Amino acid sequence: MAFTLAQRIQDKAFSLKFSGMGINVANFEYHDPVVKHPNPVDPQPILVNAEANLEKGEVYVKWFNPANDKWYCHATAYYEHASTWLSDWARTTRLVTGRIDALNAMAMNGAANKLTTELAYTLFGKLVDYSSMYRTMQSVILHEDEAMAEVVFPTDTQGDWAVPPHFIDGVVSLSGFILNGGTHFDNTNNFFITPSWKSMRFAKPLTPGGRYQAYVRMVPESADEHNSNNSLASYVGDVYILQNGEIVGVVEAILFRQWPRLMLNRFFRPISSPTAVAAPTNQKRNKKRIASPSPLLPSASILQEKAMATALAAKMTLTPPRSGPISKSGGSPKVMPERRYDLLPTPSASPPLKGHDPSHNHAIGDTDIGNSYEEDHGDDDDDVAAHAINILAEELAVDTGLLTDECEIADIGLDSLMSLVISQKFREELGIEIRDAFYLEVTTVGDLKKLVS
């Protein structure tokens, strides 16, 4: 859509300054997921807005979801000289073709896996089931964190596109296949989706019926020396598209974030879906709830949930969130350090108070001190806020002592995608329905407490 809008503006512009130039769709990023409509028969409109600055040679594109009344995605298209791209890429061609030849040799020797179209997309089915129109990878050679694919486009463009979307996906989806379809990364307990890329350029048209090669290696996202906060594990790579041995397109720094499988329903199904996690529409939990056997000891289920959450966090390699727009230039990614989770405190049961007998359990229906959640814990709003802060600390791997009311959320690594995980946790554990990108509505931890209370 961005390519098509930028091309239409280019064609209709009064100035010939940018006529015929290549289009670089850069700094793509989304903030909120767009889930499938509960009724597939009904249309699901998406509005796209493009604002051009022809003096600078750029078009700012935004995507709008009418169902949620949100701007959820943006990118900037630049008019640039495609001949310059080809000249720059020519210096990289030998390196890329060398890796493709190496993968072919490893496949011949049995050191790398060569997959047919059917097998590749069956493995991809761990996350998404592709229709026949999108199944353009004819074969894939996969070895750990790198892969190459032979791609043949269909003859039907399925519309008047500047660059057909199923053509783009056909050459770019190899990056996601390494993560979601291969065996080198843990895609049993997690899945990987892309929130952003730095640059997408095609120096020559992707032609119907054309034959191409795609190559990519996915590596851990580098640590930002200006930002020491951590978020979900991320992997990044540059996708090279070749035709007849020449690099004709590059998707630079395409980023994938690792998410726990429990988030699948949130990303791909509406809340009203029967398979999605149900969440109350009210902003507060019910005040009358059944207490644990002892008001001074957490229940076994709560301890188990906390232990599972801690174990999940300990398995994930966390990386800093991006801050600000992605520049049009940058270096190669570096390997990021792992965070030491063994230094973090683990959840444990609170010790019983002096004089209290923990063996004295109250039956359901009793009216004394052991059964009313509200009576035991005081003001329910304060308890909700406290529970929310504990969730925040667990997901961001920070000490709760740092989460004072004055603490800026930007300083603790709460970005657009991390807020999705935390908002889902709030729904499941607190019964609170808040915006996925709630980080846009709050500045400090104190603001967050007010939002959930």
User: Which pLDDT tens digit goes with each residue over 250-285?
Assistant: 999 999 988 887 777 666 665 554 443 333 333 334
Residue 281 confidence (pLDDT): 36
Tell me the CB-side half-sphere exposure of residue 257, using CA atoms within 13 A: 25
Q: What pLDDT does 417 receive?
A: 66
For residue range 366-376, what is the model confidence (pLDDT) as tens digits? 434 334 333 44
On whether residue 256 sits in a domain, the answer given is yes
pLDDT of residue 227: 42
Query: Which of these ranges, 59-63, 136-140, 433-437, has the smallest mean pLDDT?
Result: 433-437
Residue 236: pLDDT band (50, 70, 90) is very high
Interhelix angle 380-396/300-315, nearest 10 degrees: 30
110 plus 160 within the same structural domain: yes
Phi (first) and psi of residue 254, to 5 degrees? -75, 125
DSSP per-residue letters across 225-269: TT----BS-EEEEEEEEEETTEEEEEEEEEEEEEEEGGGHHHHHS
Q: Which of 1, 167, 17 is nearest to 77 (CA)?
A: 1
* Shared-domain flag, residues 247 and 305: no
Structure tokens at 324: 């600000």
- Pick from 39, 55, 80: which residue ends a domain? 80
- Decide: helix, strand or coil at residue 71: strand
Mean pLDDT of 382-411: 86
Q: CATH number, domain at 390?
A: 1.10.1200.10
Please tell me whether residue 10 adopts helix, strand or coil conformation: helix
Lowest-confidence pick of 29-38, 129-138, 328-337, 427-436: 328-337
Provide the token pair at 444: 């400090």
The total domain count for the chain is 3
> How many whole angstroms separate alpha carbon 233 and alpha carbon 220?
8
Residue 150 lies in a domain: yes
Find the domain containing 301 and state its range: 279-320+370-453
Q: Is 212 helix (H, G, I), strand (E, B) or coil?
A: strand
Average pLDDT for 222-242: 71
Residue 291 DSSP symbol: P
Same domain, 287 and 151: no
Per-residue pLDDT, 299 = 37
pLDDT digits (tens, 9 = 90+) for 201-221: 999 999 999 999 999 999 998
Its pTM stands at 0.63
**Which amino acid, residue 174?**
L
CATH number at residue 157: 3.10.129.110
- pLDDT tens per residue across span 82-127: 999 999 999 999 999 999 999 999 999 999 999 888 888 888 877 7
Q: What DSSP designation does 281 have?
A: S
C-alpha to C-alpha distance for 255 and 113, rounded to whole angstroms: 24
| DSSP assigned state of 319 | B
Instruction: Inform me whether the pLDDT recorded for 225 exceeds 80.
Output: no
Computed over every residue of the chain, the mean pLDDT equals 75
Q: Are 5 and 59 in contact (CB under 8 A)?
A: yes
